[in-house]
Amino acid sequence: MSLTDYAKRAIASWMLERGHSFLKSAILLKRAEGSKDVELYNVCQGIEVTLKGLLLLSEYDKFNPLLKRTYGHRLVKLGNAVISEYGIKPLSEKESEELVKLDNYYRRNYLRYAGIHDIFLPSGKLEYNHLLKKLVAAYRMIDRELNK
């Protein structure tokens, strides 16, 4: 089934809205002092869905076939694709470091499921404060794109 340009833009917008909601839920969970793993999982899910939404918004037909096979749950790879596609400033060293660490846990489902990794690789020290500032800036860009 072929989608209209309107439908493609709507799908990309819904992805961006859902990504934003995952990020907001993570912030609420952090404020409520809930599970750090679930908080981080929601951050990662929000980043993934937001980045995929941005790629779809840019060029739906080019990126839709790549989302599962090429990018999957790889946050760093998705981030690099968005930076390249939109020609935006690369992540700072601290932002990049946070994204790489989150990516390593997220891709392996260490944040989603409990297991032996919780003993040897506890997520309690993972941070996303620098990355969050970049995400806020990204949502400003998103608002501009959606209001064109």
Q: What is the pLDDT of residue 77?
A: 97
pLDDT of amino acid 121? 84
pLDDT of residue 114: 86
Residue 44, C-beta contacts closer than 8 angstroms, at least 6 positions apart: 73, 75, 102, 103, 105, 106, 111
pLDDT by position in tens, the chain (length 148): 799 999 999 999 999 999 999 999 999 999 999 999 999 999 999 999 999 999 999 999 999 999 999 999 999 999 999 999 999 889 999 999 999 999 999 999 988 888 888 888 888 889 999 988 888 777 887 777 677 6
Cβ atoms of 67 and 52 closer than 8 Å? yes
Instruction: Look at the chain and report how many structural domains it folds into.
Output: 1
Structure token digits, residue 121: 């690789």
Q: What is the DSSP string of 56-83?
A: HHHHHHHHTTHIIIIITT-HHHHHHHHH
Alpha carbons 9 and 89: distance in angstroms, whole number: 24
Instruction: Please tell me the predicted confidence (pLDDT) of residue 47.
Output: 95
Residue 76 sits at the vertex; the CA angle it makes with 72 and 79, to the nearest 5 degrees, is: 90
Q: How far apart are CA 67 and CA 55, in angstroms?
A: 9
Q: Which residues form the domain of 121?
A: 5-146
